[in-house]
Amino acid sequence: MAQVAPFRGLYFNKDKVNSMSRVVTPPYDVIRPEQREVFAASHPYNMVHIDLPQPLPGDTPLSNRYSRAAELFGRWQREGVFQRQQEPAYYYWETAFELDGKRHTRVGLAALVRLEPFSKGIILPHEQTFSAHKADRLELIKHCRAHFSPIFALFPDKGNRVLPGLRACLPAEPLFSFTDVEGRDQRLFPVTDRDCLKAVYQALLPEPLFIADGHHRYETGLAYQKWAKERYPGASPQAPFNYILMYLANLYDPDLVILMAHRLLGGPRIKKHLDEYPLLGRLTEYFEVTPLDGPKNDTDAYARFIKENLALAEPGGTVFIMLGFGLKAWRLRLREGIRQNILGRQMHPALAQLDVAVLNYLVFDKILGLDAKAQDDPETCKYSSSLPEVLEFLRRKEANLAFVLNPTHIDQVRQVATAGLIMPRKSTYFFPKVMTGLILNPILPNEEIVLPA
């Protein structure tokens, strides 16, 4: 059973911060170095100062970027930069955005969720994680004793009862309402009505939760829980380190958007494959290969052209667009029978249905000889959800080949997670990301999380 608990959130004090758009940021792992510097310069209280601290010459095991982040976070609290909710709340969270000319409003709630090992089947992952990211986040949470960035998770609610029920209990005014740095409208409301808290808690109690984004942070939470239990052996089962901050949305929300992280290849590992005609010959073993002739000199028009051709995939079919060799384009359509006769013998049916699994196994592994380590090497494989950005990478020769994919469907995520399987890395890009800094959770071992009675 998933324990989804209200909590006393920590948030920016409006008397100290008069522009939330200058202090909240996307999650740390999508912030590029140049963006980090822009955020840092935008406001002295911007979240990157504590959530993405930078190393300095002379750092030691006792004095380093993590200790500086902890000192800064503590000082901000002492100076009243943050204030804390007086009573436990669920935080109703609306994010309004535009995509391809359509207006969306995704609704979720921020809450604490009891940490459970994946083996229990209560919290379900779908993507692989990597040790370096987890080691970094663990050091930050050990030093700062707080969750800065919510994990994005999904709960199944076909009848759409939970979030509308929470909305019925909203206060008259939001805690925050602003347009963030990426142009999305954010509104956050604390809900403290006890009957409403109890109804939401009971409704979510029997449901599994599917991690959409933040697998590294969830596994870091488990590692921190283990560390804290050893450090505080007499702590209550309701100690805050047994919980983690999450943003929860409905799995069946029509405004839930998944983009695809397209693949860009470059570096010395693929140089031997940069001969156009032999590569096309190998691809015909598995795909119907169709050359495409589009407006290469106009990035936006070419991106639209590629999207239109990508959309020609039949339901349940697999189509990629390959780009390279001077921005040439080919549509690759998986041949009849390949999925059943080749992929079906190598992997679970839920994985064999994924376009990204088809690409990884048939193209990256069998044709290009790129193992998992190579695919995790940023010099060899880069990712971008922006098609114009993909084209610019190729135009600037920062990549040699690109593979453009259709998005993974939410039902595929559910099927893979429910089967206890893991997708290839970057198989989903839930859009937009949940912003960091709108609501925080301090982890104080002497406190206890109070469940709605």
**Residues 244, 100 share a domain:** yes
**Residues 26, 112 share a domain:** yes
pTM of the model: 0.92
Rounded Cα distance, 115 and 211, in Å: 12
- The token duo for 221 is 């939470």
pLDDT at 170: 97
Instruction: Flag whether 451 is in a domain.
Output: no
First to last CA, the chain: 16
pLDDT tops 80 at residue 156 = yes
What's the total number of domains in the chain? 2
Instruction: Flag whether 128 is in a domain.
Output: yes
40 vs 342: which has the higher pLDDT:
40
**Residues 271, 156 share a domain:** no
Range from 4-13, 71-80, 130-139, 229-238 carrying the lowest mean pLDDT: 130-139
Percent of the chain clearing pLDDT 90 (strictly above): 85
Rounded Cα distance, 176 and 405, in Å: 37
Q: What are the CA-CA distances from residue 369 to residues 269, 279, 363, 375, 382 (Å)? A: 9, 12, 8, 10, 17
pLDDT at 377: 80
Instruction: Flag whether 424 is in a domain.
Output: no
Tens digit of each residue's pLDDT (9 = 90 or more) over 383-428 = 999 999 999 999 999 999 999 999 999 999 999 999 999 898 888 9
Instruction: Flag whether 450 is in a domain.
Output: no
pLDDT tops 90 at residue 55 = yes
- The token duo for 272 is 């031997």
Percent of the chain clearing pLDDT 70 (strictly above): 100
Q: Long-range contact list for 115-118, CB < 8 A, 24+ apart?
A: 115/218, 115/221, 115/222, 115/225, 115/242, 115/243, 115/244, 116/2, 117/222
Instruction: Flag whether 93 is in a domain.
Output: yes
**Residues 186, 123 share a domain:** yes
pLDDT at 83: 97
Tens digit of each residue's pLDDT (9 = 90 or more) over 102-155 = 999 999 999 999 999 999 999 999 987 777 788 999 999 999 999 999 999 999
**Residues 389, 270 share a domain:** yes
Cβ proximity of 111 and 90 under 8 Å: yes
Q: What are the CA-CA distances from residue 127 to residues 105, 124, 215, 265, 427 (Å)? A: 26, 10, 7, 21, 7
Instruction: Summarize the confidence of residues 90-98 as an average pLDDT.
Output: 98
**Residues 436, 292 share a domain:** no
Q: How confident is the model at residue 1 (pLDDT cuts 50, 70, 90)?
A: confident
**Residues 190, 82 share a domain:** yes
Q: What is the mean pLDDT of the chain?
A: 94
> What is the bridge-based pairing of β-strands 82-84 and 90-99?
unpaired
**Residues 167, 105 share a domain:** yes
Cβ proximity of 73 and 443 under 8 Å: no
pLDDT at 273: 78
Instruction: Flag whether 411 is in a domain.
Output: no
pLDDT at 374: 80
- The token duo for 447 is 């406190």
**Residues 374, 238 share a domain:** no
**Residues 110, 76 share a domain:** yes
**Residues 177, 286 share a domain:** no
Q: Long-range contact list for 36-39, CB < 8 A, 24+ apart?
A: 39/181
pLDDT at 312: 87
Q: How confident is the model at residue 286 (pLDDT cuts 50, 70, 90)?
A: very high
Return the CA Rg of the chain. Answer: 23
Instruction: Summarize the confidence of residues 189-202 as an average pLDDT.
Output: 97
pLDDT at 52: 97
Q: How confident is the model at residue 232 (pLDDT cuts 50, 70, 90)?
A: very high
Instruction: Flag whether 369 is in a domain.
Output: yes
Domain containing residue 65: 4-257+432-442
Instruction: Flag whether 453 is in a domain.
Output: no
**Residues 146, 238 share a domain:** yes
